[in-house]
Structure 1
């Protein structure tokens, strides 16, 4: 049985990834800082309360796995929504740590198991914020650009060992995290929540938000043998974003 590890797998995109991989017969391991969310995950999943910035805890989880075919380095945090001059160094470091260092640590400790097996797939969750500049989102956008650089380096470094690496860039995803972003952007820009929401939707050629299942389905594909020669790629699942800064 193939095995997948999903960081921040208790809810949202991570939970959808777990369900999608489980449907394909994978043994699912998830980590999350939200113990309540973990408790709501299916009983058959291996659930671990773990902060991805805690290297010792993450290493303990991964070293206890019987094998690892797919890593979904999915953990992230939205960070502050503010002008650059109003962002504190603590806010910057906190956002970059979760989004970038969390992906680095997961990949670092997953790699030895994959090298031993002679195969594996690493999937990092970036964002369309890693493809465009996003006003008022400096830490988040910077970190999401950086994880793409990390992914491309992993693809080159690990390819000779049969390990692939790719990045998924979700656009505006329906759910609790995006609602927080919408509220913050509305306050920062003096707009209503609905105006910001529709601005995001109008910024895509599909004129709609993404569902978590759209991201999960792409992760399953990238982890599968059908994508055996897909590596080093940045794949946006965003309805074709052209205007990442919603305006009326």
Structure 2
């Protein structure tokens, strides 16, 4: 059996959109590794359901004033930050590019890309001051391939990878690493919504679209939020001390980015 990953005592982790889904799985995995947890989310009900031992705050990850205030609080209570998981995101609209509403495109980019940028912007000075840190940005296999009917999401997630590579180059001399995780089809409510919208756009059944996602991977499988969370813990750990500037897929190896059956 593989030994669980452990983190240095007192390791401090911030996870945006950390109260549910992939973010909640990340928080639980980091807690299991011995880290101190801070979750930010716009869902107050989900925040209230988090363990009392976690620091929690209601924060819109794409609102600079709220993000700035959150980091001030982190500095006051923790005095620093060891790992940032910039995980906030939305699926965005599903439509052909000629039918794509501009407002929907902008909102998707705002949350997925601007949210990651703001988290990195305010984490960087804190990590520079201590001469260490790890940033883990949540991208997607949509940041590695083009997907039909997903223009805003793909554009945002490609942007996240470009942001991550710039952060790795800019912050590396200060002892700070930056990487991106690219999940594939992750079990959960968000992907079920994507499947339903994609099925409607393509005139397929949800079951056929879902099967197509699995068939498009060499391992013929969807992944779980826990699979993604374990990668985040690894990237934050001393075991990954020289891993930086990488976009790492956790997807069962996507062969065909256009799900078909």
> Normalising by the residue count of structure 1, what TM-score does the alignment of the two structures yield?
0.99
Q: Say whether residues 1:194 and 2:207 are aligned partners.
A: yes
Out of 36, 55, 73, which is 1:27 matched to? 36
Question: How many angstroms does 1:242 deviate by?
Answer: 0.8
Query: Residue in 1 aligned with 2:24?
Result: 15
Give the root-mean-square deviation of aligned CA atoms: 0.6
Q: Deviations over 1:213-234 (max 9, x none)?
A: 0000000000001100000011
Out of 105, 108, 113, which is 1:100 matched to? 113
In the alignment, the residues of structure 1 paired with residue 130 and residue 72 of structure 2 have an alpha-carbon distance, to the nearest angstrom, of: 14
Out of 88, 97, 100, which is 1:84 matched to? 97
In the alignment, the residues of structure 1 paired with residue 254 and residue 214 of structure 2 have an alpha-carbon distance, to the nearest angstrom, of: 9
In the alignment, the residues of structure 1 paired with residue 221 and residue 249 of structure 2 have an alpha-carbon distance, to the nearest angstrom, of: 14
> Normalising by the residue count of structure 2, what TM-score does the alignment of the two structures yield?
0.94
Question: How many angstroms does 1:64 deviate by?
Answer: 1.3
Q: How does 1:41-60 map to 2 (within 5 A)?
A: 41-60=50-69
In the alignment, the residues of structure 1 paired with residue 136 and residue 47 of structure 2 have an alpha-carbon distance, to the nearest angstrom, of: 21
Q: How does 1:145-184 map to 2 (within 5 A)?
A: 145-184=158-197
Question: How many angstroms does 1:113 deviate by?
Answer: 0.8
Question: How many angstroms does 1:59 deviate by?
Answer: 1.1
Query: Residue in 1 aligned with 2:127?
Result: 114
Aligned length: 248
In the alignment, the residues of structure 2 paired with residue 31 and residue 75 of structure 1 have an alpha-carbon distance, to the nearest angstrom, of: 9
Query: Residue in 2 aligned with 1:123?
Result: 136
Q: Which runs of 5+ in 1 are unaligned?
A: none
Question: How many angstroms does 1:88 deviate by?
Answer: 1.3
In the alignment, the residues of structure 1 paired with residue 205 and residue 44 of structure 2 have an alpha-carbon distance, to the nearest angstrom, of: 33
Q: How does 1:213-232 map to 2 (within 5 A)?
A: 213-232=226-245
Q: Which runs of 5+ in 2 are unaligned?
A: 1-9
In the alignment, the residues of structure 2 paired with residue 92 and residue 179 of structure 1 have an alpha-carbon distance, to the nearest angstrom, of: 20
Query: Residue in 2 aligned with 1:64?
Result: 73
